[in-house]
Amino acid sequence: MSAIEQSYALAKEKYAAIGVDTDAAIKTASQIPISMHCWQGDDVGGFENPDGQLTGGIQVTGSFPGKAKSPEELRAQIDKVMTLVPGTLKLALHAMYRETGGKKVDRDEILPEHFNNWIAWANERKIGLDFNPSLFAHPLSDPFTLSSPDEKIRNFWIKHCIISRKIGEYLGRETGKVCVNNIWIPDGYKDVPVDRLGARKRLLDSLDQIFDVSVDKKYNLDAVECKLFGIGSESCVIGSHEFYLGYAVRKNVLLTLDSGHFHPTETISDKISSVLLFVDQILLHVSRPVRWDSDHVVVFSDDLKEIALEIVRNDFLNRVHIGLDFFDGSINRIAAWTIGTRNMAKALLYALLEPTAKLKKAEQNGDYTTRLALLEEMRSYPFGAVWDYYCESCGAPASGEWVKELL
């Protein structure tokens, strides 16, 4: 018996004493899809314009060597990360990562076939693909897209989003795994606007046109993503939380909650149970803001654990789609991907090892002393031993081992 197996045997006994089946927790954790984001590897560059500049309130800082410069390099990086992370993975694409064989194809003319290389790659690995229309870093995206007062610009982006939904349907059909298709726009005002309503009416009309086009929900699920503010939209974001929450309820689409898109004192873990009373499913973009929506690498923080706990405690695993959204060019990009993705997987396992039924019973009985005492005692339980065993059982390196491969 290896040292990891010995440690796990002791941990398993410890958790069993409080009614937790570690084997069952590991099995469940291994089946929860986590959608990695392709844009960490190339600093949200995409392949349509090598010299393009990010716009829409997005910034990637740092110039660490190793930025992917081709689809092949990017896929090779992702392959490496996938060997270092336990469990089930998906990959989220942006429209700007299409491959057109060197032809200039604008975003209102892209085709499903432009993602065939990604589909072939995904099918070889038996993973699903998610999708995002790219409504930023384009000559027609500054400062407004779907809420633009210019009808030609609005129509350009409406067409792009309709095409993106068809691409999502294609990805889902070709991989055999449902594609979550997420719309986020950067539209907003740097200073206080006079007519918020007009812009939001235009956005509402644009979205209605986009979603009036039928796609098969068996293959494509639509989501809309809110935001509080961004660089260049500090005073007003047109697609606010209130706007998209109402729209998601009205249209029965997914609401996307990004952990970096709210006030620094807000946490999306508190929003999950409320939102899921009114919509069927949600998409999470798990990130880490530092003073603003800065998309730092996800760490194993209390905030991350609370997100996972809220999902597990309420049996939301089949109603919450978990995606990652961070980008750091200041450190090794493969390491950044690995750290963030492993931490999301780690948080889910951590949540599955909680004696939720016992805690809920104490809470319902008004026994808050037992609730707090048990929650605090759980902090020093041998979680690390279960995590290492989980990694090893999935063929991924245990704690600390993966670092040796990269550094």
Q: Which residues are catalytic?
A: 184, 225, 227, 258, 261, 285, 293, 295, 325
Q: Are strands 236-237 and 320-324 parallel, antiparallel or unpaired?
A: unpaired
Q: CA quadruple 163, 327, 255, 344: dihedral positive or negative?
A: positive
Cα separations in angstroms, 259 against 94, 112, 341 = 19, 30, 15
Instruction: Quickly tell me which residue has 């716009």 as its tokens.
Output: 55
- Dihedral angle of Cα 392, 396, 398, 401, to the nearest 10 degrees: 140
Whole-number Å distance between alpha carbons of 64 and 348: 30
Q: Do the Cβ atoms of 205 and 197 come closer than 8 Å? A: no
Whole-number Å distance between alpha carbons of 210 and 213: 6
Q: How many CB atoms lie within 10 A of CB 375?
A: 14
Whole-number Å distance between alpha carbons of 110 and 167: 9
3-state secondary structure of 307: helix
Categorise residue 127: left if φ over 0, alpha if ψ from -120 to 50, beta otherwise.
Answer: beta
Q: How many CB atoms lie within 10 A of CB 304?
A: 24
- 12 φ, ψ (degrees, to nearest 5): -60, -40
Instruction: Quickly tell me which residue has 């993602």 as its tokens.
Output: 115
- Tell me the β-bridge partners of 91: 36, 129
Residue of 343, 356, 346 whose CA lies nearest to 316: 356
Residue of 120, 173, 186, 175 whose CA lies nearest to 147: 186
Whole-number Å distance between alpha carbons of 340 and 323: 11
